[in-house]
Amino acid sequence: MIRKRRLLISLLTTSALMATGACATEASYSVADFAAVKKFDAHVHVNVTDPAFVDQARADGFEILSINVDYPAFPSIEDQAAAAHKFHTADPKHFHYATTFTMKGFTGADWVKTTNAHLDSEFKQGAVAVKIWKNIGMIERDADSKLIFLDDPRFDPVIAHIIAAKKPLIAHQAEPKNCWLPMDQMTTNNDREYFSHHPEYYMYLHPEMPTYEFLMAARDRFVTRHPDLAFVGAHVGSLEWSVDEAAKFLDAHPNANIELAARMTQIQYQSVRDYDKVRTFFITYQDRIMYGTDLTLNPGEDTVAFKTTAHAYWLGDWTYLATPETQHVDDIDADPKGLALPKSVIDKIYYANARREFIRK
């Protein structure tokens, strides 16, 4: 089955390459089309039981994939799961969720058994994928105080279980490449802001930690070792800085897809400098790219303000990807022209690809 799936993805990519020329003349959507087109945000975090997030998603025509993650700034894994269960039970056609697992007890004898049992319970309650976060590779350490990397063979029994369950693995590995650069060399203001407020994750300040290249190599070894795993590289697979590098990753790993969450400004930074190359990348890999935002609603946050922010965020991304309109982007202090991707390409990136990978029915 997995071999057939990889063949399908290969054929889809070949078809996309053949269609690149034809797409050049195909009509694009307008800003006004935003409300009417079916859309799927494949990376959000609904960490509350307040309905504000799902209400806004419904108003803007989105299905959403809420991703649970082992992140200390979020509610507990259990609380994230409780919110996901509530909304998925109420509206399983539009609210989907990805589960995760704790690294506590990783070196213990029962970790694999406990983790697989937890995943099975979540799959039965509707989880369509599993998320692994950057704590693997950048935070978690084993009993010998050595960092644990994604290609550690001690993960293999859990990965085999995920493969057997026919669920995708969403992996956030490393950080934007800007994380390893001095502030004045970063390409986007949003990265400057994030890493100035999160020095613990700002690797330029931590030369004792693994390099960006080391972490990417560990990720690539992992994907290569598990060719039957449906792999989704979160945040453009942490290759947001170069569509050329993202293309190389997709070419090397037919079992992989990428999503765009929280990395649109890095894509826009590139398109300001080489519009045609970025647009061609999206058309060529139209079957391997999924739309996502990383929009997050946590306990205690202003839900009214969030709804306004979410709508503006979704509409701004739509304007850039789907239309030819120009808009000012403060985070790169520039006015990127919209890619005006053909309607057929937008329909895949915004909907069909996520449905294919996550809603396997």
Whether the predicted pLDDT of 4 surpasses 60: no
Tens-place pLDDT, residues 123-138: 999 999 999 999 999 9
Greater pLDDT, 22 or 52: 52
96, β-bridge pairs: 65
Whether the predicted pLDDT of 14 surpasses 80: no
Main-chain phi, psi angles of 173, to 5 degrees: -115, 140
Span of 2-6, 106-110, 269-273, 308-312 with lowest mean pLDDT = 2-6
Whether the predicted pLDDT of 10 surpasses 80: no
Candidates 3.40.50.300, 3.50.50.60, 3.20.20.140, 3.40.50.2000; CATH matching 2-358: 3.20.20.140
Whether the predicted pLDDT of 1 surpasses 50: no
How many Å apart are CA 331 and CA 328, to the nearest integer?
9
Q: pTM (2 decimals)?
A: 0.93
Calculate mean pLDDT across residues 11-20.
Answer: 53
pLDDT band for position 118 (50/70/90)? very high
Calculate mean pLDDT across residues 223-227.
Answer: 98
Tens-place pLDDT, residues 70-108: 999 999 999 999 999 999 999 999 999 999 999 999 999
Contact (CB, 8 A) for 83 and 46: yes
Tens-place pLDDT, residues 172-219: 999 999 999 999 999 999 999 999 999 999 999 999 999 999 999 999
Calculate mean pLDDT across residues 356-360.
Answer: 93
Q: List all residues 6 or more positions away from 308 whose beta carbon is below 8 Å from its beta carbon.
A: none
- What is the structure's pLDDT at 301? 98
How many Å apart are CA 236 and CA 227, to the nearest integer?
19
Q: What is the mean pLDDT of the chain?
A: 94
pLDDT band for position 298 (50/70/90)? very high
Whether the predicted pLDDT of 7 surpasses 60: no
Long-range residue pairs from 154-161, CB within 8 A, at least 24 positions apart, any chain = 154/106, 154/107, 157/112, 157/116, 158/101, 158/112, 158/115, 158/116, 158/119, 159/226, 159/229, 161/116, 161/119
pLDDT band for position 25 (50/70/90)? confident
Domain extents in the chain: 2-358
- What is the structure's pLDDT at 296? 98
Q: Which two tokens stand for residue 100?
A: 């995760």
